[in-house]
Chain A
Amino acid sequence: MSTGLFDQLVGLSAGVLLLTSVLLVWKRSLVAAVRLLAVQGFALATLVAVIGVNDHDAQLMAVAGLVLALKGFVLPWVLDRSRVRTGAVREETPLMNTTAALLALSLLTMLAYLVSQPLRVLVPGPTTAAVPVGISLVLYGFLLLTTRRHAISQLVGFLVLDNGIATVAFLTSGGVPFVVELGASLDVLLVVLILRVLTSRMTAKFGGADLDELMELRD
Chain B
Amino acid sequence: MAALILLPLVTCLVLAASTAALRSPALCRFSGLAAAATVLGSGIALSAAVLNGSPSTAGGLLRVDALSAFMLAVVGAVGLTATWGGLPTADAPQQDWMFSTLVASFLGAMSLAVLADNLGVLWIAVEATTIATAFLVGHHRTRRSLEAAWKYVVLGSVGVAVAFLGLVLLYAATVAAGRPTLSWVVLTQGHLALDPSLLKVAGALAVLGFATKAGLAPMHSWLPDAHSQAPAPVSGLMSGVLLSVAFYAILRVQAVVNPVLGPSLMRGLLITAGLLSLTVAAGLILRQRDLKRMLAYSSIEHMGLLALAAAAGGTLAIAAALLHVLGHGLAKSSLFVVSGRILAAEGTTTIADLRGLLTRRPGVAVPYLAGMAALLGLPPFSLFFSEVAIVVAGFQRGLGWVMVVAVLLLLVLFAGLARHSATMTLGTPGGTSVDDASAGSPDPAPHGRQAPLVLALGVTAVIGFASGPLSTLLHQAAAILAGAR
Contact = CB atoms under 8 A, between A and B. Distances in A.
Nearest to B155: A145
Given A122-B195, A195-B153, A217-B148, A179 B138 contact: no
A176 B138 contact: no
Contacts of B198: 118-119, 122
Contact of A180 (B123, B138, B225): B123
Interface stretch (B37-45, B171-179, B408-416): B171-179
A211 B224 CA distance: 18
A174 B180 CA distance: 11
A66 interface: no
Interface in B372-427: none
B168 A183 contact: no
Contacts of B256: none
The CB with the most chain A CB atoms within 10 A, among B127, B150, B173, B175, is that of B150
B165 A173 contact: no
Contact of B135 (A142, A183, A194): A194
A145 B156 CA distance: 13
A162 B160 CA distance: 11
A21 B195 CA distance: 30
Instruction: Specify the main secondary structure of chain A where it touches its partner.
Output: helix
B49 interface: no
Contacts of A162: 161
B264 interface: no
Interface stretch (A39-47, A68-76, A100-108, A184-192): A184-192
Interface in B166-205: 167-169, 171-173, 175-176, 180, 182, 195, 197-198, 200-201
A79 interface: no
Contacts of B149: 198
B7 interface: no
A115 interface: yes
Interface string B198-231: 1011000000000000000000000011001100
A145 B134 CA distance: 19
B146 A165 contact: no
Interface in A187-217: 187, 190-191, 194-195, 197-198, 201-202, 205-206, 211, 214-217
Given A118-B197, A118-B198, A214 B120 contact: no
B154 interface: yes
A154 B130 CA distance: 17
B56 interface: no
Interface in A48-82: none
Interface residues of B, number: 52
A180 B116 CA distance: 12
Contacts of B172: 119, 123, 172-173
A18 interface: no
Nearest to A145: B158
B388 to A, nearest CB: 30
- Residue of B134, B164, B197, B293 ringed by the most chain A CB atoms within 10 A: B164
A138 B200 CA distance: 18
B457 to A, nearest CB: 29
A88 interface: no
A184 B130 CA distance: 13
A179 B121 contact: yes
A118 B165 CA distance: 15
Given A180-B121, A217-B228, A118 B195 contact: yes
Contacts of A180: 118, 120-121, 123-124, 182
Contacts of B131: 187, 190-191, 194
B322 to A, nearest CB: 27
Contacts of B195: 118, 122
B182 A195 contact: no
B229 A217 contact: yes
Nearest to B297: A219
A161 interface: yes
A169 interface: yes
Contacts of B228: 217
Contacts of A165: 161, 164-165, 168
B141 interface: yes
Given A194-B131, A194-B135, A217-B224, 7 more contacts: A122-B195, A123-B172, A174-B175, A183-B124, A201-B146, A217-B229, A219-B284
25 contacts: A118-B201, A121-B197, A145-B158, A154-B154, A165-B164, A165-B165, A169-B171, A173-B171, A177-B118, A177-B182, A179-B121, A180-B182, A183-B124, A184-B120, A191-B127, A191-B130, A191-B131, A191-B157, A194-B131, A198-B134, A202-B150, A206-B143, A217-B144, A217-B224, A217-B229
* CB-based closest 3 A-B pairs: A180-B120, A172-B172, A183-B124
